[in-house]
Structure 1
Amino acid sequence: MAFPSSGKAFARSSCELPDVTRDWLWATAWKMRYRTAFTGDGFGVHPSTTSFTMHAETHKQAGRVVRDLDDLGRSYGYNDGTWGYQWTGVAGAKVCKPGYHRYGAAIDFTHFNWGKEIFVDTAVHGKARRYLRRRYLAVIAVCRKHFGTVLHCYNDPDGSHWNHIHVDRGRRAVAADWDYQTDTTIIQWAARDLAGMSKIRIDGDFGPQTKQGLEALKKAFRAEKLDPTASSANYLVWLDLIARHGMADKDAGTFRAE
């Protein structure tokens, strides 16, 4: 069954849609762990493997996220390392409340782990040192490949997403739309941390400064003729480029569209 695609669906009281309950994403070895607390330094505590219930399509798309993160870690690891994916931290999936969580069509990520000392903690790394922010950005770009809506520490409309990444399938993985904060914040973040525009604001507003950032990325990526708003295929190329640079901790232009 397809997900509801409009606000009218939320008027229904039922939370019933086809679900699966799993403790893994994509491969049974890649377990999910529930975040139960925070350390004194603000990092999430994920003590054990946990099963979560969600819509079958959400499970499939979330699995594709970790599959792609495994590929990135193996091919574009920080300091030329080879990282195999290990496990995923999750705060929740299907919850009977307003929004796409009601339908099991959303999942909240808290941690992505490739091994000891090689991870993204969503409560800390979005505003940490640049190489960690870049890695967090890589995760955001990969999430956007498979989910239309991606909320995070720089795209936080209600102030509740500072410590996790919310993704949902209410909007498909379509071409970029600069009126949509999910897409604009990705470009702003990439312009700041990959293209060296340190003063750019990551606020979801596609103004003159963001347009300059987009042009800087186009030039660095040699993607002047690859308009990310023209098609989902074009935007996927952009997202892959952003993810590679972020995971490898490289400046924009190290990898190119050509």
Structure 2
Amino acid sequence: MAFPSSSAAFARSSCGYPDITRDWLYQRDLKTRYRTAFNGDGYGVHPSTTSFTMHEEAHTQAGKVILDLHLLGQQYARGGGVWSYRWTGLAGAKVCKPGYHRYGAAVDFTRFDWGSGNFVDTAVHGKDKRLYMRRRYLAVVATFRKHFGTVLHCNNDPDGSHWNHIHADRGRAAVAMDWDYQTDTTIIQWAARDLAGVKDMAIDGDFGPKTTKGYELLCERFGTEAIDPAVSAANGRVWLNLIGRHAMSDKAAGAYRVNESMQAEADAEDD
């Protein structure tokens, strides 16, 4: 059963949409673990495999994220290595409370682990002093936006509660990018700052003159002047793939430029 539109969802009081319970995402050996605490350095503690209940569509879309993160590790790992994805940390999924969590259509993510010390901890790395760690967190956020319309995180935190996790929900499908929507604007601002070197770029969700210049700089570096991410979801995926590849490999904007195969890949990807 597909998840209903936001208007239909919030018109209902029931928490009883069909869901599934799984201890894995994408494939059975890529387990999920529950974050139970934080250690002295602020990193999440994820002691054991845990099952989570969520809407089946959310599970499917989250699995696509994990597959993409695995492929980024295989093909674009920092330093030219090959990383194989291992497990995912979560803080929760279906909870009968106001919002998309009540329908199992929202999931809170805390860690993405490729093994051998290669990981993203969402409580630390989004505002890390190390550029390569901020970039890696950005790669994760860009990948989520390919499959979820709403992505909240440390740099898109409207209520102050997302500093330590990434919230992704299906209240909005993975549609074309919208510069009136903070999920999308903050990704462009973050990429302009940490990939294109616009050091004074504020990540505030406001697509003003400074962000416009950052966007234009990214267009020039990526070769995407003719690919408007606000026109179609496929165009948006071209941009998100470019951001993810640069950020995962810890390279400045321009290391990879759009080509016909990249456009065809984005056209073929499903929401």
Give the shorter-chain TM-score range: over 0.9
Once residues 65 and 100 of structure 2 are traced to their aligned partners in structure 1, the CA distance between those partners, rounded to angstroms, is: 18
1:224-248 deviation line (CA, Å, top 9, x unaligned): 0001111111110000000000000
**Code of the aligned partner of 1:161:** H
- The answer to whether 1:101 aligns with 2:96 is no
Q: Aligned residue for 1:192?
A: 193
SS in 1 for 2:30: strand
Alpha-carbon shift at residue 117 of structure 1 (Å): 1.2
Once residues 76 and 178 of structure 1 are traced to their aligned partners in structure 2, the CA distance between those partners, rounded to angstroms, is: 28
Q: Aligned residue for 1:182?
A: 183
Q: Aligned residue for 2:57?
A: 57
Alpha-carbon shift at residue 180 of structure 1 (Å): 0.2
Once residues 6 and 32 of structure 1 are traced to their aligned partners in structure 2, the CA distance between those partners, rounded to angstroms, is: 27
Q: Aligned residue for 2:205?
A: 204
Q: Aligned residue for 2:256?
A: 255
- The answer to whether 1:29 aligns with 2:29 is yes
Kindly report structure 1 stretches of 4+ aligned residues shifted beyond 6 Å: none
1:120-175 deviation line (CA, Å, top 9, x unaligned): 00000001111000000000000000000000000001000000000000001011
TM-score (norm 1): 0.99
SS in 2 for 1:236: helix
**Code of the aligned partner of 1:231:** S
Once residues 56 and 5 of structure 2 are traced to their aligned partners in structure 1, the CA distance between those partners, rounded to angstroms, is: 17
Once residues 41 and 82 of structure 1 are traced to their aligned partners in structure 2, the CA distance between those partners, rounded to angstroms, is: 27
**Code of the aligned partner of 2:45:** V
Q: How many residues align?
A: 258
Alpha-carbon shift at residue 8 of structure 1 (Å): 5.3
Once residues 116 and 165 of structure 2 are traced to their aligned partners in structure 1, the CA distance between those partners, rounded to angstroms, is: 20
Structure 1's unaligned 5+ residue stretches are none
Q: Aligned residue for 1:121?
A: 121
TM-score (norm 2): 0.94
8 Å contact kept, 2:150–2:169: yes
SS in 2 for 1:200: coil
Q: How does 1:1-258 map onto structure 2 within 5 Å? A: 1-7=1-7, 9-128=9-128, 129-258=130-259
SS in 2 for 1:24: coil
